[in-house]
Amino acid sequence: MPAPQAERFKRGDPLEHTSKGGLALPLPTSPLAEPGEERALVFDAPVRGSAKPPKHWFDLEPAARATAVAALGLPAYRARQVATHVFGRYEYRPEEWTDLPTDARAQLAVLFPSLLTPLQELTADRGLTVKTAWALTGGAVIESVLMRYPGRTTVCISSQAGCGMACPFCATGQGGLQRSLSTAEIVAQVADAETKLATGVVAGGPGQVNNVVFMGMGEPLANYVAVMAALRQLVRPKPDGFGISARGLTVSTVGLVPGIARLAAEELPITLAVSLHAPDDELRDELIPVNQRWKVGELLDAAWDYARITKRRVSIEYALIRDINDQAVRADLLARELRRRGDWNWAHVNLIPLNPTPGSKWTASRRRDQQTFIERLERAGVPVTLRDTRGREIDGACGQLAASLA
Ligand code: SAH
């Protein structure tokens, strides 16, 4: 016989000290996990042999670029010229750098090996959303999504091919982890978006990337070193980097607590997004397997520390799943968990209507439940927004990136 719900919730109740008794959170009947069989968590997939991407200019810090140029027997100022082409004009092919001698261009080509081979490009929203599937060295496939909005452009990039976090409602999680991306493979996705925007091939006229969100395939904090190096290339001022404001960068995590603490210590004011999806451990253990290692309480403490240290408001991602996590009582619990840590709007809740994924029987919440959820949070003074479903029809929205080519 299943235990009564209130009683089940009591085990490890994160709120015991704030709400005594009476809190009954509906839990779906077991087995909850779906679709298919449970997957093991995979934190690390080393890149071996022929899958290893070649070293690229985008892997190198400015000093290392100068060294690499000198090693080719070229004068140091060539490094500066190359940087101006690359980060100033988004020209990544040496043959485009016509102010450099042909010989020098030929030599420099070794620092610009091809990393991403476009396999497929799909557009939606009258051309304002573009999803690209790329083959990496070794054959793994990733996707990135460019989204234009009035006055800003966001590119959603992948940090790993596949993902080892096994969340049952996410298409990427269903395929497991193939491998982590190198710094240059991460940066190259942004570089491509900049070129597409600069050359006007995307609808909406010429433009630039304003926001980069690590919300594509993979768990960025499981590929910490490469992701951090990529973030530094993106924020470094032109002509040594892309010169994107740190405030325009968002790293989204499933909840790797040590990674959040490490990120907080970097002194880069980037936005942290936490994929929470449930305010209680019993449900989150099912929705987010890694919750079995780091609990809701620890995760929100880490998120709060991040906000306190960086003074950046944390984004709490919450995909609303019909009758699973969308009850008013969970909105109340979420609000309380956030407010009891600080009342200075340190966290902002971003609700995501669940996007359909293959084989999943779960679906988005009813409109009225979604509205009630929003109202409960608002009433408790928690800032809340509802995310759009950009790219849904091309499987380019949150949780849909599976690199399964149409
Ligand atoms: N691994 C990181 C980065 C992925 S971001 C993370 O978990 O945060 C992708 C976001 O989309 C995450 O918030 C994820 O939980 C959410 N998501 C996954 N599947 C979804 C779906 N089917 N519908 C809506 N959002 C989903």
Asked if residue 154 has its Cβ within 6 Å of ligand 1, the reply is no
CA distances from 124 to 76, 391, 397 (A): 44, 6, 11
Q: What's the total number of domains in the chain?
A: 2
The residue among 48, 78, 111 that closes a domain is 111
186 Cβ inside 6 Å of ligand 1: no
Kindly report, residue by residue over 148-157, the tens digit of the pLDDT: 999 999 999 9
> Which residue has the CA at smallest separation from atom 13 of ligand 1?
275
Of 155, 128, 131, 127, the residue nearest 143 (C-alpha): 131
Q: DSSP letter at 51?
A: G
Helix/strand/coil (H/E/C) assignment for every residue in 242-306: CCCCHHHEEEEECCCHHHHHHHHCCCCCCEEEEECCCCCHHHHHHHCHHHHCCCHHHHHHHHHHH
**Residue 355 belongs to a domain:** yes
- Least confident piece of the model among 26-35, 78-87, 273-282: 26-35
Q: How far is the CA of 252 from the centre of ligand 1 (A)?
A: 8
Question: Is 255 within a domain?
Answer: yes
Tell me, using a 6 A CB cutoff, whether residue 352 lines ligand 1.
Answer: yes
Query: Over the stretch 352-367, which tens digit does the pLDDT of each residue have?
Result: 999 988 888 899 999 9
21 within domain boundaries: no
Residue identifier of the C-alpha nearest atom 1 of ligand 1: 219
- Amino acid identity, residue 404? S
Name the average pLDDT for the chain.
90
**What is the number of residues in the chain?**
406
Distance 277 CA to ligand 1 centre (A): 9
Residue 34 has pLDDT above 80, yes or no: no
Ligand 1 atom showing the smallest separation from residue 356 Cα? 22
Q: What is the pLDDT of residue 198?
A: 94
Give yes or no for residue 399 CB within 6 A of ligand 1: yes
Helical axes 367-379 vs 328-339, angle rounded to 10°: 30
Our answer on whether the CB atom of 143 is closer than 6 Å to any ligand 1 atom is no
Q: What is the pLDDT of residues 91-148, one digit of tens each?
A: 999 999 999 999 999 999 999 999 999 999 999 999 999 999 999 999 999 999 999 9
Mean pLDDT of all residues in 285-312: 97
Give the CATH number, domain containing residue 166: 3.20.20.70
Whether residue 194 is found in the same domain as residue 266: yes
Query: Where a domain ends, among 111, 129, 151?
Result: 111
The verdict on 388 and 329 lying in the same domain is: yes
The maximal CA–CA distance of the chain, rounded, in angstroms, is 79
Assigned domain for 15 exists: no
Ligand 1 pocket test, candidate residues 41, 212, 215, most atoms within 8 A of CB: 215
322 and 304 in a common domain? yes
Identify whether 406 is part of a domain: no
Q: Are residues 96 and 133 in the same domain?
A: no
Is residue 315 one of the residues assigned to a domain?
yes
* pLDDT at residue 258 tops 80: yes
pLDDT above 70: percentage of residues in the chain: 91
User: Using CA positions, which residue lies closest to atom 10 of ligand 1?
Assistant: 398
Do 133 and 81 lie in one domain? The reply is no
pLDDT > 90: percent of the chain = 80
Residue-level pLDDT at 163 = 96
- Looking at the structure, tell me whether residues 277 and 368 fall in a common domain: yes
* pLDDT tens digit sequence for 184-238: 999 999 999 999 999 988 999 999 999 999 999 999 999 999 999 999 999 999 9
In this structure, the answer to whether residues 97 and 184 fall within a common structural domain is: no
Contact 391, 131 (CB under 8 A): yes
Closest protein CA for atom 3 of ligand 1 = 215
* Residues 400, 355 contacting (CB under 8 angstroms): yes
Q: Is the residue at 27 inside a domain?
A: no
Cβ contacts of residue 383 below 8 Å, gap of 6+?
Answer: 313, 345, 347, 348, 349
pLDDT at 20 over 60: no
32: pLDDT strictly greater than 90: no
Judgement on whether residues 106 and 182 belong to the same structural domain of the protein: no
The predicted structure's pLDDT at residue 210: 97
Note whether 247 and 266 are same-domain residues.
yes
Give the helix/strand (H/E) hosting 319.
strand 314-320
Catalytic residues: 143, 398
317 lines ligand 1 (CB under 6 A): yes
Does the beta carbon of 252 sit less than 6 angstroms from any atom of ligand 1?
yes
Q: Of the candidates 96, 111, 126, which is a domain's last residue?
A: 111
**CA 13 to ligand 1 center in whole angstroms:** 25
Cβ–ligand 1 distance for 217 under 6 Å, the answer: no
Q: Are residues 97 and 202 in the same domain?
A: no
Find out whether 348 and 313 touch, Cβ atoms under 8 Å.
yes
Ligand 1 nearest-atom number relative to CA 213: 5
275 CB near ligand 1 (under 6 Å) = yes
Mutate-to-test residue for ligand 1 from 155, 158, 398, highest number of ligand atoms within 8 A of CB? 398
Q: What domain range is 76 assigned to?
A: 57-111
Q: Does 278 contact ligand 1 (Cβ within 6 A)?
A: no
Query: Among 267, 247, 189, 253, which residue's Cα sits nearest to residue 220?
Result: 253
Distance (angstroms) between ligand 1 centre and the Cα of 321 equals 12
User: In the predicted model, is pLDDT for residue 25 greater than 60?
Assistant: yes
Based on the domain organization, do 197 and 130 belong to the same domain? yes
Best CA proximity match to 123, nearest among 113, 108, 133, 136: 133
- 136 and 270 fall within a common domain: yes
Residue 174, ligand 1, Cβ within 6 A: no
Q: Which residues contact 368 (CB under 8 A, 6 or more apart)?
A: none
Best residue among 34, 142, 169 to mutate for probing ligand 1's pocket (most ligand atoms within 8 Å of CB) is 169
> pTM here?
0.92
Position 70 in a domain: yes
Closest residue (by CA) to atom 5 of ligand 1? 215
